[in-house]
Structure 1
Amino acid sequence: MKSIAFVLLSFLFYGAGCAQVPAGNTLQIKSLTQSDVKLDGQLSEKEWTEVTPVDLRSPWVKRTDHIANYRSFTDRQYFYFGFEVTDTTLMLYVSQEETDVAKGDRVELFFSDKPDLKNYYCLEMSPADKVLSYRAKHYRVFDNSWDLPGLVLSARVKKGGYTVEGRIPLAALRQIAGQAAGDTKPFKLYTGVFCGDYFGADENDVEWHSWITPKSATPDFHIPSAFGVFEFE
């Protein structure tokens, strides 16, 4: 999330935002022997029905419902992920400029090997089937030259919202986790799961949703308290 509207951080909460990941914010990533998922943005295969969805909620706007959910699993080769988003005010920027993804509706996955976010890796994915990928260091030092090897993405706009479906080679995630090539032991990653829902053309016309509630007075996902833990079998 790079909207300049949220670059300024509330110093009152800055120390809390740098705390360790709270206990209990852990998601066990289910492992399947094999997968027949076709990446078409529909999330219709039986594999998706075997995974309990995680609701993404807005920490900064009072509402009882949720607009997005997330689910994921692995097979022997890949990490699969899927988002389903309800959105009646779809804001899309379709261009060849990768950074334009950050101007509209999107879902996001951030990964780090350590809770201090000394190094973390970000995927921002739009309903237009575009991805903004970058490497970062705390606090908000971005390197847009980074791309995630082997990422495959499929997004689909539908009535009342959109879906984003993708896969990442497990080897790429193991590398982020600091595992040696060929190592197949269970591992974990500190992970952020987010959604940006724009309802107008102004960069401030957005509502942010998250798996974890960050310890910040204003919307900010580039802090350790916005991350939980994914445990891979």
Structure 2
Amino acid sequence: MKTYKVNKVDGNHIKINGRGDHPLWEKAIVLNDFLSPWHFESVGDIEFRALHDGDSLFVSYKVNDTHLHIDSTDDSKESVNNSDRIELFLRSDRHLNPYYCLEIDPLSRIQDFIARPNKEFDFSWDWPKKDIAIQSYIAPTYFCVEVALSMASLKKFELIQTDGTMEAGIYRAKYNQQQNGQFEPTWITWVDPQTSSPDFHIASSFGKLKLDNY
């Protein structure tokens, strides 16, 4: 299983602003080996970083993209589902019963839901508002999304193992306009799930986050 080390920083010092420019992000390992096993085109540069301070898990995505597709119908989860976005799935074990999905677009809008095997999704579920913070930023050639999750919520959902590891899926959905004018997603992932068609809702698409000094 692919593993990413989440370095620890001093508590109460990192502040997310959506730009990914806080000096402490320099202490994070850059994860950029993303791919789309089902498409031939380049997936573009994507940088994922994660840090923790013992009280919160911080993640940052920087995605090179000059042609964003954003469904601006409203702020519903359905609009997020039709937009370019980053995705973070977290599970307690490989049985996926349950697992938690965070899908966030460049406007900081979130589609969060709890899921179970065979793509049983409950979109009425939300990550507790007091336990999550989201900031984003759009530049001419890229966008950034930063997320802070409380360790209390991660423990409540049994997402941190006794050895300080978490099992996570790290993904991106990029919508491209087709010849018929419709927009279709290119699915991009950190871990190749070895499936014939795109599928993130499967145990083999997850990797491991190792919390340093946890």
5+ residue gaps, structure 1, are 1-22
Structure with higher RCO (Cα < 8 A, 6+ apart): 1
Distance 2:45 2:10 in 1: 31
Structure 2 residue 26 is matched with structure 1 residue 49: yes
* Corresponding position of 2:69: 91
* Corresponding position of 2:4: 27
> For 1:125-140, what aligned pairs fall within 5 Å after superposition?
125-140=104-119
Distance 2:91 2:114 in 1: 10
- 1:106 partner letter: R
SS of structure 2 residue aligned to 1:79: strand
> For 1:136-147, what aligned pairs fall within 5 Å after superposition?
136-147=115-126
CA contact (8 A) 1:120 1:137 kept: yes
Paired residue for 1:158, among 123, 129, 139? 139
> For 1:57-72, what aligned pairs fall within 5 Å after superposition?
57-62=35-40, 66-72=44-50
What do residues 38-58 of structure 1 show as CA deviations (whole Å, max 9, x unaligned)?
Answer: 321111112111111111222
Paired residue for 2:92, among 113, 119, 122? 113
CA contact (8 A) 1:57 1:66 kept: no
Distance 2:100 2:116 in 1: 9
- 1:197 partner letter: K
Distance 1:169 1:102 in 2: 25
- 1:170 partner letter: M
Q: Which TM-score applies when normalising by structure 2?
A: 0.88
* Corresponding position of 1:77: 55
Q: How many Å apart are 1:64 and its aligned residue? A: 6.3
Distance 1:45 1:97 in 2: 30
What do residues 137-186 of structure 1 show as CA deviations (whole Å, max 9, x unaligned)?
Answer: 0110001121112110011111112100110001111122267xxxx965
Say if 1:113 and 1:185 are closer, same or farther in 2 by CA, change over 3 A.
closer
SS of structure 2 residue aligned to 1:54: coil
Structure 2 residue 182 is matched with structure 1 residue 202: yes
CA contact (8 A) 2:59 2:147 kept: yes
Distance 2:4 2:96 in 1: 19
* Corresponding position of 2:154: 173
* Corresponding position of 1:222: 201
Structure 2 residue 83 is matched with structure 1 residue 104: yes
Q: How many Å apart are 1:231 and its aligned residue? A: 2.1
5+ residue gaps, structure 2, are none
Q: Which TM-score applies when normalising by structure 1?
A: 0.82
State which drifts further: 83-92 or 61-70: 61-70
Distance 1:196 1:178 in 2: 24
- 2:67 partner letter: T
What do residues 4-24 of structure 1 show as CA deviations (whole Å, max 9, x unaligned)?
Answer: xxxxxxxxxxxxxxxxxxx3x
Distance 1:78 1:84 in 2: 20
Distance 1:164 1:174 in 2: 23
Paired residue for 1:39, among 16, 21, 24? 16
CA contact (8 A) 1:113 1:120 kept: yes
Number of residues paired by the alignment? 205
